[in-house]
Structure 1
C-alpha cells in the first residue's frame, strides 16, 4: 500500500542546491519511493540559531511503501551520505530532511512526531510546502491559510518551478 508523505529539505553548507537535488534523486531511484512533486527552491534566513549563512529550502511529495519510521530512517541515512553532522541544534548543515506529514496520520514517540511538531511556526517549511500542497491540512488548517498568516518577506524563490532537481 502506498502513502503520500511530505518532506522538508534544506541546507546551508557546501552547495545545498546540489545536495538537495541529489538527495531527491537518491530517494526517487528507490523501488519503494517515488518523488511525485517538488517545490521551487527558496533562500531563507536561518531559524533558531541566526549567526550562520542563509539556507536553501524545498519540500517534496513522495509516494512510498515504507512505514513512517522507515521513511525517517531513509531520510537520516541520506543525510549521513551527504556528510550531515549534528554538532549543534539548529546549526549549519549540508543537508536536512524532515518528514513533515505521512498520509495525514498522527504519531508521536521519541524518534518521530507527525505531523512535524514545529511546522506551523516555520515559514521556511510552509512556503515551499504551499507550492505543492496548499490544501494539505496540518492541525486542522490548510497550509495555504497558515502561509497567509506568516511574514514571507524574507523567503525568496531562487528557481522558477519544481523541475530544478532533475
Structure 2
C-alpha cells in the first residue's frame, strides 16, 4: 500500500493547479493557509469546495467560525503562497491581508477574494472537506495566476506552441 500512496502523491504533484490562500480567524487575527485543493462546485447556488488536513489549525478554526475566505493568487504572489505553506509555523497573515469583517479577509492584490459561510463539512480520510456558500466576491486586477506544479510555484506561460 505504501507504494500506491507514494505513486499517488507523485501523480498529484504532476497536476498543475491554481494557488489559493484559505483564510479564517484564530485568536482574533487573520490566519492564512496555502491550498491547491479548491474548486467551484455549483453556480446555483454558488458553492465552493476546499479540502484541508483535518489536523490543521485552520480546519478547527473554520469549524468554530463557520466562515472562511478563499483568495486566488496572482503570479507575483509567491511570497504570500510560501508564507501560508510553512509546515508547523504560525500562519498569521496581517502582513498580506485586510479585514472585511465577520471572519472575512482578503489577500491584498489577489486575483479574486471569495467570502463563504460553511454549508457542509465532510470528513474524507485524513482531510476535511468544506463546502462553502459564496456570500460575496471581490475581484482584483485581471492578470496571470500563480500555479503549483511538481512541488514548485510558477507562472502561466501564455505563449502558444504549434
What is the TM-score with the length of structure 2 in the denominator? 0.30
- Structure showing greater relative contact order (alpha-carbon pairs closer than 8 Å, 6 or more residues apart): 1
Higher strand share: 2
Higher helix share: 1
